[in-house]
Amino acid sequence: MAKTDTVFSGSIPSLYDKYLGPLIFQPYADDLAGRLSDLSSGRVLETAAGTGIVTRALLRALPNSVSVVATDLNQPMIDHASAQVSSDRLSWQQVDAQALPFLDETFEAVVCQFGFMFFPDKKKAYREARRVLKPGGHFIFSVWDSIEDNEFADVVTLAMADMFPDDPPLFLARTPHGHHDKTVILNELQKAEFTSAIAQTVTRRSVAASGRDPAIGYCQGTPLRNEIESRDAGRLAEATELAARQITERFGDGPVDGKIQAKVITAIR
């Protein structure tokens, strides 16, 4: 993992939320929150909450008797997320998911949407999630499937390879789409002493008004931007336009509709 893969700063959080939120994250946020629909009371911990897309879905889906502690390693993400929603059921905290500052057996559920790919020590993060769960508590998290199964991300990555053939920016393939082997994940959860775990493949459609929306979202609203600017700080707009053009060439003018696919894992303490 490159050092810039976990840097979400400047305008990245707002662009991430505006463009990628509805495009690829909201369908899975609603799915994840729905998996906790039987929870009637207690506390839920969210790690790698990002701009609060899942956080907001949890508050909508869960009864008032359930409170949410939303955490992220990146303070700029928390700053953006906390400005989007306010609730007496919700608290925000800057936290490393690999070293949770909470007592053992504190939460009824731990959730994490598309965050584990960014954790340097995933095994430690699994153990920490189990530690803070109450017996029988649920740990639900999602990871993106292969980049080939996520069409807009794949096209953007190929466009960047065309633009920088000698040193292609591979953030999307390397990190967001680089940790999806369910056998590896389930084995690691077993070693972390979860009593059971299952992985489900969940496929959705990603719809945008035009090819520019996913191009802006990926090129300017993720750490891919850091890679582009590290190669040539003056070519970000050009890179975005190239990505938009190639998405339009593949999916047509006007609204675009592409496949997205993830694995959703549910483990029980």
User: What are residue 168's phi and psi, to 5 degrees?
Assistant: -65, 135
pLDDT in tens, 214-225: 999 999 999 999
pLDDT in tens, 11-45: 999 999 999 999 999 999 999 999 999 999 999 99
145 neighbors 83 (Cβ within 8 angstroms): no
pLDDT at 211: 97
User: 33: which DSSP letter?
Assistant: H
Alpha-carbon torsion (234, 235, 238, 239), positive or negative: negative
Give the pTM.
0.95
Q: What is the mean pLDDT of residues 196-220?
A: 97
pLDDT at 6: 85
Q: What is the mean pLDDT of residues 120-136?
A: 97
Terminal CA-CA length for the chain: 29
Q: What is the mean pLDDT of residues 168-173?
A: 97
Q: Flag whether pLDDT at 1 surpasses 90.
A: no
- Measured in whole angstroms, the distance separating CA 5 from the mean position of its chain's CA atoms is 13
pLDDT at 101: 98
128 closest CA partner among 150, 153, 147, 103: 103
Q: In the chain, what are the domains? A: 3-268 (3.40.50.150)
Q: Flag whether pLDDT at 7 surpasses 90.
A: no
pLDDT in tens, 150-170: 999 999 999 999 999 999 999
Summary mean pLDDT of the chain: 96
Q: Flag whether pLDDT at 86 surpasses 80.
A: yes
16 closest CA partner among 228, 179, 216: 216
- Measured in whole angstroms, the distance separating CA 59 from the mean position of its chain's CA atoms is 18
Q: What is the mean pLDDT of residues 72-80?
A: 95
